[in-house]
């Protein structure tokens, strides 16, 4: 069965950015971003998704993939 995989860790590493810095940019707690990064999130708000993609200069399909 396929599931949604979040590539947040990969994208952060490619941009040499920390989770703390991203948290400051998108106004989402480090804990919540960590849950997303570790594929433990059950849901994500569209506004959060848009903010993360803007901060990382990526498309939604680069952040979330089926695995």
pLDDT per position as a tens digit, 20-51 = 999 999 999 999 999 999 999 999 999 999 99
Q: Quote the mean pLDDT of the chain.
A: 97
Q: Give me the residue spans of the domains in the chain.
A: 4-66
Using pLDDT thresholds of 50, 70 and 90, give the confidence band for residue 1: confident
Axis crossing angle, helix 30-37 with helix 19-26, rounded to the nearest 10: 120
Q: Model's pTM, two decimal places? A: 0.94
- Write down the CATH superfamily of domain 4-66: lambda repressor-like DNA-binding domains (1.10.260.40)
Q: What one-character-per-residue DSSP string does 1-64 give? A: ---EEE-HHHHHHHTT--HHHHHHHHT--HHHHHHHHTT--S---HHHHHHHHHHHT--HHHHE
């Amino acid at each position: 069965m396929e599931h949604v995989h979040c590539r947040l860790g990969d994208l952060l590493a490619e941009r040499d950015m920390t989770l703390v810095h991203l948290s400051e940019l998108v106004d989402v707690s480090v804990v919540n971003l960590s849950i997303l990064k570790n594929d433990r999130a059950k849901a994500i708000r569209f506004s959060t998704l848009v903010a993360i993609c803007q901060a990382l200069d990526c498309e939604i399909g680069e952040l979330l993939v089926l695995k």
